[in-house]
C-alpha cells in the first residue's frame, strides 16, 4: 500500500463523528458501527487473520493467536471516541473533515486517539501482507467511551478477557508523547510508566441566609474563601517517584544549559525547587490542588447559607486518596468548613509503576531510536487518566506512549481546537507500531 493510500484511510476514519457522551446523554452508535464497517474494508488482512469482536456499544477487540501458547499475550490499545468539536474559526479545517493539507491531517481525534487506532491497524495490515506469524498473541483493543471513563468499553473488555483467563504481559496505551518540559531545550520521548490518581472533594460552609443590606461580619462564604486560599498556600508535599527521578537525571544537562548559569550539573532537589514553579513541572512532583467550581447564592443581594466549592486533586504515586482527604480536613475544619467526597465512584488511586526492565520498554526505546535518532527516551508519569485504569487489572505492566510530537502546546494539544497531526508523524507512527509489534511478538 502506498503512503498516500494509508493517509486516505486515516483521513476517512477521522470523518466519523464518534463523539463520546456522558451517562444520561443520548449516545449515537451509528458512527461507531460505520467506522467498524469501514475498517473491514480498509484492513482486509487484519480482518482475515485476527478474530474481531464488537464489545458493548461499539468497542472493538482484535486477537491474533500466537504460536507459543505459554507466552502471555500483549495488548495495544487506543480509543475510537473523541471529545466534542464544533465547527468554528479556530478550526482551519472542519473537525470531522479529515482534510489533508500543508503537510498535516486535520480533525478531531487526529492525535487523541484515532491516530492510534488507524496506525496500529495499518502496522498489522502491513506485516500480515509480509506473512507475519507471531509467537506471542497480539491483542488490539479500541474503546468507545474512553473520554468519559471507559466504564462500558475498556471495563467490559477487561471483564471478558478475565472470563477467558487472559492475563496480559503488557499494554501499550496513550499518555506519553514526544515533547519538552519548560526546562528542556529540545524534545524528549516520554514513556509514561504510571498515571496519577483522581479525586474531587466538596468543601462547604454553613451559615444563615440573609439580606445583603445587613450582613454578618463573618459569613459562610468568607470562611469558605479563606479555606480555599489556605489550601492553595498549603500544597501537598513534594514526592519524587522513580520515573520522574530518572527523567530529571536524564535531562539535568539540558536543565543546566537552559535554566542555571552554572557549570555544575544540578541535583534532583535543586531541579525540583525550580520546576515546581511551572504547572507542568509541579504536576510531576506532587499531588496537584485545583479549585474548579465555586457556588454562593443565586442572587447578588442574597447572602448564601451553604456556599460550596469543588476541588480536584491529581494524586502522585505514593499519595492515597485518604491522605489527601485528611490533609484537606486538617486545613478546613479549624475554619469551620466541612469536607466530603464528591463522588466515591470517581475516586481513582494512582496507578502502579511499570518496570523499565522488560522487553516492551526496550522495544519502545529501540523503535523510537530507529525512527527519531537523537531524541532521548525518558520515563515519566501521565497527569490524566486513560483506559489503562481498567487494563492495569489484567496486565503486568502498562506503558503509555503515543509516537507523536505535541509541539509548543504540550498536553494542551490533545483536546485543542484545530487538532491535527503531521503526515510525517502519522506515517512514522505506523513504522513505530510495526517495529514494536515485531519485537514484542517474538520475545
Ligand atoms: Zn485519549
pLDDT-derived band of residue 83, with 50, 70 and 90 as boundaries? very high
CA of 276 to the centre of ligand 1 (A): 26
Residue 392 placed within a domain: yes
Burial (CB < 10 A; 0-12, 13-18, 19+), residue 268, is middle
Q: What span, in angstroms and rounded, lies between the C-alpha atoms of 96 and 106?
A: 8
Same domain, 409 and 329: no
Same domain, 226 and 253: yes
What is the pTM assigned to this prediction? 0.93
Same domain, 67 and 111: yes
Q: Which domain holds residue 233?
A: 197-346
Before 113, cis peptide (omega within 30)? Answer: yes
Q: Is 57 helix (H, G, I), strand (E, B) or coil?
A: coil
Options 112, 146, 195, 387, the catalytic residue: 146
Q: What span, in angstroms and rounded, lies between the C-alpha atoms of 158 and 152?
A: 10
Per residue in 261-298, pLDDT tens? 788 999 999 999 999 999 999 999 999 999 999 999 99
- Residue 187 bears catalytic tag: no
The CATH number that applies at residue 19 is 3.40.630.10
Same domain, 119 and 165: yes
Same domain, 220 and 282: yes
CA of 167 to the centre of ligand 1 (A): 23
Residue 173 placed within a domain: yes
Per residue in 180-197, pLDDT tens? 999 998 999 999 999 999
Per residue in 124-170, pLDDT tens? 999 999 999 999 999 999 999 999 989 899 999 999 999 999 999 99
Q: What span, in angstroms and rounded, lies between the C-alpha atoms of 297 and 107?
A: 41
CA of 113 to the centre of ligand 1 (A): 5
Options 81, 93, 147, 195, the catalytic residue: 81
Residues flanking ion ligand 1, Cβ below 5 Å: 112-113
Q: What span, in angstroms and rounded, lies between the C-alpha atoms of 169 and 74?
A: 5
Q: Is 254 helix (H, G, I), strand (E, B) or coil?
A: helix
**CB of 85 within 8 A of CB of 60?**
no
From residue 339, alpha-carbon distances to 198, 309, 316 in Å are 16, 10, 21
Which residue in this structure is represented by grid cell 505492566? 397
- Residue 81 bears catalytic tag: yes
Same domain, 169 and 156: yes
Q: Which residues pair with 378 in a beta bridge?
A: 190
Same domain, 320 and 391: no
The total number of structural domains that make up the chain: 2
From residue 435, alpha-carbon distances to 67, 356, 362, 388, 397 in Å are 19, 18, 11, 22, 19
The CATH number that applies at residue 253 is 3.30.70.360
- What pLDDT is attached to residue 244? 97
Amino acid at each position: 500500500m502506498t503512503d498516500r493510500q494509508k493517509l486516505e484511510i486515516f483521513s476517512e476514519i477521522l470523518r466519523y463523528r464518534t463523539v463520546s457522551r456522558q451517562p444520561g446523554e443520548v449516545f449515537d452508535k451509528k458512527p461507531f458501527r460505520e467506522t467498524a464497517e469501514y475498517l473491514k474494508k480498509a484492513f482486509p488482512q487484519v480482518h482475515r487473520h485476527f478474530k474481531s469482536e464488537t464489545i458493548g456499544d461499539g468497542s472493538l477487540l482484535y486477537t491474533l493467536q500466537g504460536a507459543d501458547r505459554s507466552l502471555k499475550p500483549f495488548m495495544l490499545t487506543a480509543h475510537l471516541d473523541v471529545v466534542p468539536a464544533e465547527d468554528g474559526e479556530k478550526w482551519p479545517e472542519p473537525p470531522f473533515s479529515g482534510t489533508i493539507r500543508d503537510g498535516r491531517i486535520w480533525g478531531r481525534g487526529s492525535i487523541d486517539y484515532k491516530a492510534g487506532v488507524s496506525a496500529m491497524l495499518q502496522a498489522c495490515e502491513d506485516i500480515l501482507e509480509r506473512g507475519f506469524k507471531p509467537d506471542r498473541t497480539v491483542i488490539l483493543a479500541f474503546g468507545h467511551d474512553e473520554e468519559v471513563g471507559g466504564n462500558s468499553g475498556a471495563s467490559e473488555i477487561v471483564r471478558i478477557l478475565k472470563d477467558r483467563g487472559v492475563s496480559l504481559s503488557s499494554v501499550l496505551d496513550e499518555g506519553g508523547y514526544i515533547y519538552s518540559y519548560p526546562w528542556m531545550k529540545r524534545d524528549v520521548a516520554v514513556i509514561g510508566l504510571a498515571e496519577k490518581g483522581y479525586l474531587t472533594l466538596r468543601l462547604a460552609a454553613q451559615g444563615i441566609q440573609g439580606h445583603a443590606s445587613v450582613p454578618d461580619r463573618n459569613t459562610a462564604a468568607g470562611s469558605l474563601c479563606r479555606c480555599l486560599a489556605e489550601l492553595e498556600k498549603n500544597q501537598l508535599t513534594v514526592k519524587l517517584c522513580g520515573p520522574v527521578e530518572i527523567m530529571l537525571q536524564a535531562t539535568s544537562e539540558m536543565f543546566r544549559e537552559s535554566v542555571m548559569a552554572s557549570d555544575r550539573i544540578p541535583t534532583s532537589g535543586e531541579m525540583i525547587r525550580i520546576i515546581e514553579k511551572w504547572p507542568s513541572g509541579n504536576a510531576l512532583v506532587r499531588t496537584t490542588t485545583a479549585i474548579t467550581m465555586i457556588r454562593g447564592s443565586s442572587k447578588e443581594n442574597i447572602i448564601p447559607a451553604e456556599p460550596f466549592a469543588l476541588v480536584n486533586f491529581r494524586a502522585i504515586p505514593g499519595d492515597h486518596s485518604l491522605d489527601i482527604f485528611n490533609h484537606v480536613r486538617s486545613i478546613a475544619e479549624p475554619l469551620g468548613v466541612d469536607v466530603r467526597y464528591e463522588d466515591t465512584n470517581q475516586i481513582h488511586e494512582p496507578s502502579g509503576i511499570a518496570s523499565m526492565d522488560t522487553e516492551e520498554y526496550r522495544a519502545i526505546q529501540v523503535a523510537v531510536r530507529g525512527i527519531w535518532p537523537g531524541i532521548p527516551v525518558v520515563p515519566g508519569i501521565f497527569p490524566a487518566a486513560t483506559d489503562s485504569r481498567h487494563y492495569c487489572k489484567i496486565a503486568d505492566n502498562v506503558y503509555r506512549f503515543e509516537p507523536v510530537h505535541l509541539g509548543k502546546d504540550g498536553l494542551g494539544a490533545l483536546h485543542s481546537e484545530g487538532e491535527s497531526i503531521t503526515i510525517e508523524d502519522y506515517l512514522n507512527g505506523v513504522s513505530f507500531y510495526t517495529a514494536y509489534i515485531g519485537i514484542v511478538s517474538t520475545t
